[in-house]
Chain A
C-alpha cells in the first residue's frame, strides 16, 4: 500500500455528506484511495456497498484494533466516537504502509486540487490548519471565533495530513493514545474531543507545519477574515488564493446564522452553501432511518443515556465487569444492573 490515502469518519446520519466529500475528492484526485471509517452498523434493509459508494475501502468501528473495544465504543457519544477513531485509523493506515494520509471531516466539500498538500508532505510530516489565520477585531467575532478556539482548540481537526516518516508516525501514535483515554466533550476540564489535544502538537513535533493558506478549511469560524470571490475566468478565490475545500459545518439554521453573521454581503459564500445543499440532497439515503446510530442503543433497543456512558467510562470496575455493555439480544447485563441501581437509589 502506498501513495495517498484519505479517510473520513462518520455514522450513517452523515452518509449523504460523506458521499459529497468522497465524490468531490474523487473528482480532483481519482487516483487517491478514499477510506470510510464507519462508526456505526448497517440498519436493517441497507447495505453499505463499495461497488456503488464513492469510497474505495471501509473500516468499521467493530474492526478497529482497540483493546476492550465494545466498552470503549460504549464510553463515547456520537461526536466523541466519530472523532476518537481518527487516531487509531491514522495509525492503522500508516502501519499498513500508506505514504501520505489525509483526514477530512465528512462535512467538507472539496472545490479545488489538494495536490499542494501532497507536495508539502514531502517537506513536513504533519500539517494542521488553525481555525483562524487573521486576528479578529470586532468584539462579537473575538467571542465567537477566537475565544471559541481557546475553548475548543486552535487547530481545526476537520483536516490533518501526515507523512509516513519521522514525526508522522510519532504524531499518530501520540494522538491515538490520547484519544483512547480522553476523547471527551469536556471543555470545562480543558478537553474537547480529538481537537484540543492538538494545541500541544506544534510544541511536541519538530516537523509539524501550520498551514496558513486561506484556501483551505474555509468555514463560518473564519469568514470574518476571509472573502470569497469568483473571477470572470471562473476561479473561486479566498482572499485571492484558490479555494481548496470548504468546511460546511452545521448544515441548518445554526450554520446559516453563523455564516450570515460573518459572510454578510459576500453572497458567493451563500452560493457555495446552496451548491452544498443541492449536493447533499442528491446523495441522501432514504433507507437509513432518521436519527439512526447503532451505538446509540442497547441490544434491547433502549436508548443509552449520556450519564450512563459517563459513569461507565469513569469506572474501571464497570469496564472489567461488563465486557460488552451494549449487551446482546437475550441479555443486557449492564442495562439490568443500571436499572437495579436506579431502583435501589429511589427506594
Chain B
C-alpha cells in the first residue's frame, strides 16, 4: 500500500533481550528491530491494549508457536487467529502451559499456543499465486496483532501451507470441505450465512423480528438474495446449469459439493468478467447509438445570415470556434461545465464563442466518406443557431472571419467523438485562426478507446498498433484508421496541446509523437483554502466540539456509477462492509443504481451550481470518498471537490492525475490494489484517521475555476482600448 501521508503508526525500537522484553502494548510495544516489514502484517494492524502480552516465537516447516496473555485476567485463555494475506489458516486459544511465562508472572500461566501445518484449516482458500503478498498476521482479542519474533519470507509460509492443504484435499477426497452428512441444509447454511449482511442488503424483506436465515432458506435464494458477500446466487445458477435445472438452493449445493469441486461462488474475474460478458463489438455499439430521427439542416445561406445577424447584434472583438462531442448546454458533466466556464470567460473578453458538436453522437470518429456532410449543431455563446453540414459551417466561417482581425480568431478542440477529422481540417482552413488548441481531456488522440482501457477493463499503456494486445482489444480493429486520421489532423493543424495536469502532459508526450507546437499544462480548477472545519455534530451524536466520534464513518462515491470511475469496486466494497456498523455508505451523483444498502443523494453539477458537489459533501457530512478510477484520469474534478469540502480521498494509485493530486496535496490515501482497499476498510486505521480529522478539524476551502482556453488565448487588445486605460 502506498500511504500518503505515511501511516502515523510505526513500530518502536527494540527492547532488551529476555522474557520480559516480549511484553508489548502501549509505549513498550516492540518486536525485534530487524524484522522485515512484510512479515509484520500490514500497517493497519492494531497494537494490543495495555496489559496484553505475547508474541509469535517460531514459524518453521512444522508449524508455529507463541504465547499471549491478558495480565488483568491470567485465567482467561486468549483467542488466537492466524491470517495469511487475510485468509484465516489457524484459529484456537492460547491455553498451553508455559513454564517460562509462569516464572515471569509468578503463577501458572496457561497462555501458549501451537499450530501445526498438518492441522491447517480445511476451508482455508489461499489467494491465487499472483495475488499473494505473504503477509502473516497473528491476531488476538479485539483484532490486536501479535508481533512476530522470528520472521520467515512469505514464499516459505505459502510453501508449507500449500503443501499440507493439497495433501489434505487428496486424503479427504471429494468431500474435502463438505459438511458432515448428518447436518441438515439449514444448519449447513447457518455455519457460513451472514445474517447482518443479509439484513443490510435486504432491509425491506427482513424485518427487525424476522429471521434472515429463515427468509433466505424459504424464499430469499429464489429471489436471488445472496447469503454472504462472497456468494452470488445469480452467478452460481448462471454458471452451473446442472444446479439451475435441479431447483436446489444453490448455496446448499455450493457448501455440500460445489466448493469441493472447484466451483466458484462469485464471478472469478470480478467486475471485469461482467464487463467482458456483456461487451458488444464497437460496430454493435455504434449501431445502438444511431439516431432514428432526422434533423432539419439550415441551408448554407440561412446559416450564414443567422450567424452574421448574431455577430452584427453582438458586435464582438473576435471569434473562437470550439469543438466537442456534445452540446455542453444540454448535458451534465465535468467537461461540459468547463466549456460553459470557457464560453463565459471568452464572452467577458468580448469574444464570440461558436460551438460545434455532432448531431449524431458516436463513440468513434464520424466516417471519412461523408466528412463534409457531417451534421453539426451550432451554438453561439450558448444559444442555438441550428443544425448544418460541416461544409456549410465552413463556408459560413469563411465569411465571418472577414469581420474580425486575424489575430482575434481562435480554434479550440475539446473532443473529437462524432466529428470527422477531415471536416475539422476544413473548418480550421476556413477560419484561418491565429492559434489552435487541442485539449487532452482524454486520450482519444491515441486510440478509439479514449481512456486507454483495453477491452474497457484494464489500462493498456497504449501499446504499438501491431501488438497482440491491440489484436484482441475491442478497439484494436478501428485503431489503425483512427490513428491515420488523427495524424493527418495534427499535420494539417498546428495545434498547441493543452493538458489539464502535469501527469497527463508527461504521459501524452511519452505515448505519442504527434506533431504539436507545444504541450502546455493548464488546470481546470484549483482549491483555495479558507478555513478549518471541525466536523459538525449530527442529530443523534454526542458533543459538538468533539466532532461526532461515535457516529459511523460516512463513505461516498461521487458522480456517475460507471466502470472506469470505479463504481464496481465501490459496489463490492459496500457489499463486503455493509454489515460493519463502523461505516455508512453514500452515493452522491446523478443515477441511483442497484439495490445497495446506501444513501443516494442526487447532485447535478452545472453552470448554475458549479459547487453543488462541494456543498453536498459538506451537507451530508461525508468523511471519506472512494474514487477508484481504473484509467489514468487527465484531471479529476472530484478530487478538488473533496479537497474543498475537507473530505479524505481514498484513490487508486493508478488513477493518473487523481493519484498525482492526492500525492502532491497530501489530502488522501493511495491504495495499490482492490484487495488492499478492502483490507483498509476491514482494519481500523481508516476509522482512526477519520476520527482524528473529525476531532482535530480539517482544512476546507472553495473551488477556484479556471477559464480554460480563455486563459491561454487572451485577446489582443486594440491599441485604442489600451490608450483609454
Contact = CB atoms under 8 A, between A and B. Distances in A.
A138 B262 contact: yes
B622 to A, nearest CB: 31
Interface stretch (A1-9, A185-193, A255-263): A255-263
A274 B268 contact: no
A265 B472 contact: no
Nearest to A136: B166
B463 to A, nearest CB: 3
Interface string B261-283: 11110011110110011010100
B263 to A, nearest CB: 7
Interface in B122-141: 128-131
Given A235-B469, A257-B239, A265-B131, A270 B166 contact: no
Interface string A225-247: 00100111111100000110000
B468 A112 contact: yes
B471 A111 contact: yes
Contact of B264 (A232, A253, A264, A267): A264
Interface string B169-185: 11001101000000000
B261 A138 contact: no
Interface size class for chain B?
35 or more
Contacts of B264: 260-261, 264
Given A271-B276, A271-B455, A264 B128 contact: yes
B262 A267 contact: no
B37 interface: no
Interface string B452-466: 001101101101100
Contacts of A265: 128, 130-131, 268-270
A278 interface: yes
A275 interface: yes
Instruction: Indicate the member of A137, A242, A260, A271 with the most B CB atoms within 10 Å.
Output: A271
Contacts, number: 120
Contacts of A261: 262-264
Residue from A142, A257, A264, A265 whose CB has the most chain B CB atoms within 10 Å: A265
A314 interface: no
A144 B174 CA distance: 12
B470 A139 contact: no
A282 B281 contact: yes
Contacts of A137: 162, 166
A227 B130 CA distance: 9
The secondary structure that dominates the A interface is: helix
Contacts of A141: 262
B102 interface: no
Interface in A245-294: 253, 256-257, 260-267, 270-275, 278, 281-282
A144 B129 CA distance: 20
B93 to A, nearest CB: 31
Nearest to B267: A260
A21 to B, nearest CB: 15
A139 B170 CA distance: 6
B241 A253 contact: yes
A140 interface: yes
A233 B276 CA distance: 22
A282 B472 CA distance: 14
B260 interface: yes
B661 to A, nearest CB: 23
A69 to B, nearest CB: 39
B268 A264 contact: yes
A274 B130 CA distance: 22
Interface in B410-461: 454-455, 457-458, 460-461
B572 to A, nearest CB: 13
A140 B455 contact: no
B273 A267 contact: yes
Contacts of B463: 231-234
B262 A270 contact: no
B464 A260 contact: no
B470 A271 contact: no
B240 interface: yes
B512 interface: no
B474 interface: yes
Contacts of B454: 230, 271
Given A137-B166, A274-B279, A236 B262 contact: no
Contacts of A142: 170
A-B pairs, 10 with minimum CB distance: A234-B463, A234-B467, A232-B461, A234-B469, A140-B262, A267-B269, A275-B472, A267-B272, A274-B276, A236-B468
Interface of A: 111-112, 137-142, 144, 227, 230-236, 242-243, 253, 256-257, 260-267, 270-275, 278, 281-282
29 contacts: A111-B468, A137-B166, A139-B173, A140-B261, A141-B262, A231-B463, A233-B463, A234-B463, A234-B464, A234-B470, A235-B468, A236-B468, A261-B262, A261-B263, A262-B262, A263-B268, A263-B269, A264-B128, A265-B128, A266-B128, A267-B272, A270-B269, A271-B454, A271-B473, A273-B276, A274-B277, A274-B279, A275-B471, A275-B473
Given A139-B170, A264-B268, A274-B474, 18 more contacts: A139-B176, A140-B260, A141-B262, A230-B468, A230-B469, A234-B461, A234-B463, A235-B468, A256-B239, A260-B239, A261-B264, A265-B128, A265-B130, A265-B269, A267-B276, A267-B457, A274-B279, A275-B471
